[in-house]
Amino acid sequence: MAFDRFGRNINYLRISLTDRCNLRCVYCMPEDMIFRPRSELMQDHEVIRLVHLFTNLGFRKFRLTGGEPTVRANLVDLVREIGATKGVEKVAMTTNGILLDRLAQPLADAGLTRVNISIDTLDADKFRQLTRWGKVEDVWRGIRASQAAGLEIKLNSVVVRNYNEGEDLVDLARLSLYQPWQIRFIEMMPFGDVADFQLAGVVTQEEMISTIESALGPLTPVNPGELDGEASLYYLEGAPGRIGFISSISHPFCASCNRTRLTADGRLRLCLLREKEVDLLSPMRDGATDDELRAIISEGIWWKPWGHGLAQDVVPLNRVMSEIGG
């Protein structure tokens, strides 16, 4: 197993399959974002090799992210190979859902178990404003296709001040009254060139809870004090679904962190909100053996930082969110 110097067992890897996306969300990247040449990104066989190495170190859960992972060529085959790897217990994906209307069933057949679908508002005009290009009806088609395919569904909403912190928040929370989904609200986090905008737009967990309760009634904690991954869970009376809050700014969950991230260009990012990374792709392409790569991974994980430094105004500037993989 892989432990860091604080005794945390790190067993969950988020793999960014691409830095590209078919949207340009205002809190994620500039509209004129320039992406890396594909030759600089991990190829399929390199992703699979690294998955094998991580499972050898005790990693069991893998989440595929981007950018937008569904724009990656050969995605279904890649999911099938990852899922068939000895030691892999769960393969999930974070996606904007736009291409799931045709991919949900093939992905489920290949071994995908869950999708976290990003949808920040149900209002068509606001959705287009937030995403710059997107159509909310495309996301709904993806949600329905995922449900039909038997995939577990979680909906992710990044809450942005002056965009979707009011009625939009309530509309999404209301879905939990009718569907067995987890509706998750995420405090915006600062990255790269858009960090100033992101910091100015943070809506705290306390504000979100107050808004929801004012409209829909009291929220009751689920397993008070225990997190579901990184989310604190609540429910509305009689609701089949759950409402989660991922509050990296106001309620950091660093003590229970068991994850690390692999960027699309093959860097092991040890903390989402820290710039420290360990290059795995270069030594792999230079001929490093499996034992050598495992040693590099283990050493990197050992030095995983305790948590972010936002309270000390330390903001990661070397990448925007789409380059890290959420």
From first to last of its 326 residues, the chain has per-residue pLDDT tens of 899 999 999 999 999 999 999 888 877 777 788 888 989 999 999 999 999 999 999 999 999 998 899 999 999 999 999 999 999 999 999 999 999 999 999 999 999 999 999 999 999 999 998 899 899 999 999 999 999 999 999 999 989 888 888 999 999 999 999 999 999 999 876 554 444 444 556 889 999 999 999 999 999 999 886 788 888 999 999 999 999 999 877 777 788 889 999 999 999 999 877 778 999 999 999 999 999 999 999 999 999 988 765 555 555 555 666 666 66
Domains and CATH numbers, the chain: 12-323 (3.20.20.70)
Q: How far is residue 21's CA from residue 41's CA, in Å, rounded to a whole number?
A: 14
Pairing of strands 219-221, 227-228: unpaired
The Cα 175–Cα 181 span in angstroms is 8
The per-residue pLDDT for 326 is 60
pLDDT of the residue at 195: 44
State the pLDDT at residue 198: 46
pLDDT computed for residue 26 by the predictor: 76
8 Å CB contact between 322 and 19: yes
**Placement of tokens 């060139």 in the chain:** 193
Q: What is the pLDDT of residue 59?
A: 98
Q: Which of 116, 263, 109 is nearest to 191 (CA)?
A: 263
Supply the pTM of this predicted model.
Answer: 0.91
User: What is the model's pLDDT at position 284?
Assistant: 98
CB-based contacts of 301, cutoff 8 Å, min separation 6: 2, 3, 4, 10, 57, 260, 268, 270
What is the rounded distance in angstroms from the CA atom of residue 200 to the CA atom of residue 197? 5
Instruction: Give me the residue label for tokens 């094998």.
Output: 52
pLDDT at 24: 85
CA distances from 59 to 20, 31, 259, 267, 298 (A): 26, 35, 9, 17, 12
Backbone dihedral region for residue 217 (phi beyond 0: left; psi -120 to 50: alpha; all else: beta): left
d(CA 257, CA 269) in angstroms, rounded, equals 13
pLDDT of the residue at 322 = 63
